Amino acid sequence: MGADFLFLMRIERVFFCRFVTALSLVVFSNLFASLLMKFFCCIALTMTFGVHALFAQNPRLITPSQTDAAITLANESHYAYIPQGSSLRNRLVVFFPGTGAVPQDYRSFQQFASTLGFHVIGLTYPNPVAINSICANTLDTACHRLGRQEVFDGTDQRADISIDRTNSIENRLVKLLQFLQRTVPNEGWGQYMIGDSVRWNRLITAGHSQGGGHAAYIATIRAVERVAIFSSTDWLTRLNRPADWMSNPKRTAASRFYGFVHNGDEQLSQMAQIRGWEALGMGAVSSVVTVDSLPTPYRKSQMLRTFATPGIANPTVQNHNATVANGYTHRTANGDFLFAPVWTYMLTDGLMTSVRDISEQSSVSIFPNPAQHLVSVQGVEGLSNLTLTNVLGQTVLMLRDVQTPATFDVSSLPNGMYFVRIQTNQTTHSQALQVIR
């Protein structure tokens, strides 16, 4: 998927920041150098991720080997985001990068998903060669399935793939969730585990290119909440048809799969991708629709297409990457993501949030709201952890083992909007709180 170009783009931005920093330290005073460095690095950041990156939540960056010292392959950082906004969905979006890419290459989408109320993980995994490339010249109709199974759980399936259990997707996800729950227990990551196993029915698997194939394949062997596939299918080139696993029985209902493709995809034709999606059962409700000329909910179709001009010109990958990769995703004149409605639809269409909003419950109350000084909380059963975050997702107050009625003080906080999150062993409650003085 254009991983080389994405990698160069990352390196150029980092080099630019470091070069300007070094130059300014030589020529100017330390204070001025620091200000100049921050200014030019902001420019570099917006060139890569857009203006929203200046105000977006900073993800937690965790290398795979931090979570399991035995992991030896693909050690670029995982990205982890906590939910933003007034509604928390108690669902985890796990995003799988395309061939040769890493979570940083999809930071815009991951950040956006967090604003919809999801926990989000961009997962690093061994992806140096595309499964479609490995299986390009074979007549073995099980090639794609066996390859993806080995990448997923590390069982030895193919001689041309060498991934053990430790380096597999499943082990990496388990160890990352355990690490997050252990190091930041107040952020709610533990709800996605049952013992030492992933609670798959609370996960949305998503991915681009090779990663989209993993997202879909996992949903056939595990019952997940839903699947978001970007520019991806598994194709038997010599037989000119989708791989067999795509039409096999699935643990996840076909109605929970969603796909998005660019009409001019250079890596695999949009018609091949649509045929693969139809094999998954995604055409039952509606045929493919073009999002450029339709408002959401896109006739409730699970198969979406665009003709939009990519944000970066690169004749080998620009359309393939346009659906979700940083920089390639088109922006509107005011800097918003053109595909924000598409991403929202794919992640939330028909999704019922399991999080109860405090403002809608008679048994729980937070008052006064707006607040100036002390805020009271009443009606929460049992002990709870209370977290107050600002609009950037930064934690400004955290109280553990709270028994209601209780109070907390906001008099030292700047005016603005905050989000109260109260988590018990059974439920998570959330509500917006305004501080005005």
Q: Is 33 helix (H, G, I), strand (E, B) or coil?
A: helix
- Average model confidence (pLDDT) for the chain? 85
Of 354, 226, 225, 347, which is closest to residue 296 (Cα–Cα)? Answer: 347
What's the start-to-end Cα distance of the chain, in Å? Answer: 51
326 Cβ contact partners less than 8 Å away, ≥ 6 residues apart: 6, 9, 48, 49, 104, 105, 106, 107, 108
- pLDDT-based confidence at residue 56 (cuts at 50, 70, 90): low
Q: Which two tokens stand for residue 182?
A: 């252990």
Q: Is the pLDDT of residue 363 over 60?
A: yes
Residue % of the chain over a pLDDT of 70: 83
Which pLDDT does position 32 carry in this prediction? 53
The sign one gets for the Cα dihedral 149, 151, 155, 161 is positive
Backbone angles phi, psi at 89, to 5 degrees: -95, -10
- The C-alpha atoms of residue 62 and residue 37 are separated, in whole angstroms, by 25
Q: Is the pLDDT of residue 20 over 60?
A: no
- Distances, alpha carbon 273 to alpha carbons 213, 243, 259, 278, 340, in Å: 11, 11, 9, 9, 22
- pLDDT-based confidence at residue 360 (cuts at 50, 70, 90): very low
Of 175, 126, 166, 123, which is closest to residue 147 (Cα–Cα)? Answer: 126
Q: Name the CATH architecture for the domain at 50-348.
A: 3-Layer(aba) Sandwich (3.40)
Q: Is the pLDDT of residue 126 over 50?
A: yes
Which pLDDT does position 362 carry in this prediction? 41
Region 26-55: mean pLDDT is 49
Residue % of the chain over a pLDDT of 90: 64
Which pLDDT does position 224 carry in this prediction? 96
pLDDT tens, 69-96? 999 999 999 999 999 876 678 899 999 9
Which pLDDT does position 37 carry in this prediction? 53
Region 34-58: mean pLDDT is 52
Q: Is 413 helix (H, G, I), strand (E, B) or coil?
A: coil
Structural domain boundaries in the chain: 3-48, 50-348, 356-435
Q: Which two tokens stand for residue 305?
A: 């297409």
- pLDDT-based confidence at residue 135 (cuts at 50, 70, 90): very high
Q: Give the least confident one: 6-15, 189-198, 229-238, 367-376.
A: 6-15
Mean pLDDT comparison of 14-28, 272-286, 408-422, highest-scoring range: 272-286
- pLDDT-based confidence at residue 151 (cuts at 50, 70, 90): very high
More confident residue, 355 or 158: 158
pLDDT tens, 205-236? 999 999 999 999 999 999 999 999 999 999 99
Which pLDDT does position 330 carry in this prediction? 83
Q: What is the CATH number of domain 356-435?
A: 2.60.40.3080
pLDDT tens, 380-424? 877 788 999 876 668 899 998 888 888 999 999 988 778 888 888
